[in-house]
Amino acid sequence: MDRIEKLQSKKEIKIIACYDSSFAGWLEKHHCDALLVGDSLGIFVKGDISTKGVILDDMLYHTKAVKSGTKSILIISDMPRNTFNTKRIALKNASKLIEAGADMVKIEGDIEIYPIIEHLAQHGIKVCGHIGFTPQTIDKPKKKYDPKVFLGKAKCIEASGASLIVLSMMGEEVDYLITKNLHIPTISFRSSNNCNGSVEILHDLLGIGSSSYPFKKNKLQQHAHSPEQLINSFLKKS
């Protein structure tokens, strides 16, 4: 069983976004299931107001850094905006992220990314989809997402060959319907507990987020007394 199959088999998947070697090694020792090198580094590391300015070189640099601090944990790297506009460009850039240390790439979007996911999968590159609130193209999450519409999108992403899918800030009803009807794991980002797992951003768990961070605060911060307790509270399996 490879790392991706092992992750898919877990009952409750816990993923944390981090961007450097030291934290990556620490999180691996504390039994995090996978690490996401997210384009959220545009906000937390570069100090931008969004993820839209992140480029491939940023992702390559931080993917290499995260990889250097770990031994066997699965690493997922975001494909930044405008790095997967065509099949050829997507394959070229995804291959670079894999060479830098990623086991899987994550791509935001729906209809426009179905052929991209299929193309990458055909070339042996594992893909994590991402629907709902997609910061590369949307400034704020919607108040309501149509469950049936997004179920259709999720099914298409699965059929295209994705191994995981992030459901971002869509809510309990949508998460439940998608998770119930998909065969690949669903990962909640600030959405609900109805998914197969969840992903959080390290800086936000530690309460050191940017003032331009567009997401709501993490509830775990209300009950923990130290940074380590915050992270362990998230990683603790229910």
User: Checking DSSP bridges between strand 127-132 and strand 186-189, what pairing results, if any?
Assistant: unpaired
- Mutual orientation of helices 147-160 and 172-181 as an angle, nearest 10°? 40
Residue with tokens 């530690």: 206
- Mutual orientation of helices 114-122 and 147-160 as an angle, nearest 10°? 20
User: Do residues 134 and 39 lie in contact, with contact meaning Cβ atoms separated by under 8 Å?
Assistant: no
Query: What pLDDT is recorded for position 234?
Result: 78
Query: What pLDDT is recorded for position 209?
Result: 67
Dihedral of CA atoms 88, 154, 34, 127 in degrees, nearest 10, equals -20
pTM of the predicted model as reported, rounded to 2 decimal places: 0.90
d(CA 110, CA 170): 14
Query: What pLDDT is recorded for position 229?
Result: 75
The per-residue pLDDT string of the chain (238 residues; one tens digit each, 9 = 90 and over) reads 687 888 888 889 999 999 999 999 999 999 999 999 999 999 999 999 999 999 999 999 999 999 999 999 999 999 999 999 999 999 999 999 999 999 999 999 999 999 999 999 999 999 999 999 999 999 888 889 999 999 999 999 999 999 999 999 999 999 999 999 999 999 999 999 999 999 999 988 887 766 555 455 555 555 555 667 777 777 876 5
Report H helices in 101-183. 114-122, 147-160, 172-181
d(CA 23, CA 144): 35
Nearest Cα neighbor of 35 from 78, 83, 86, 2 is 78
Q: In the CATH scheme, what is the code of domain 3-235?
A: 3.20.20.60
All structural domains of the chain with their residue ranges? 3-235
φ, ψ at 194 (rounded to 5°): -90, 5
User: Do residues 79 and 107 lie in contact, with contact meaning Cβ atoms separated by under 8 Å?
Assistant: yes
Query: What pLDDT is recorded for position 226?
Result: 66
Nearest Cα neighbor of 2 from 125, 103, 101, 70 is 103
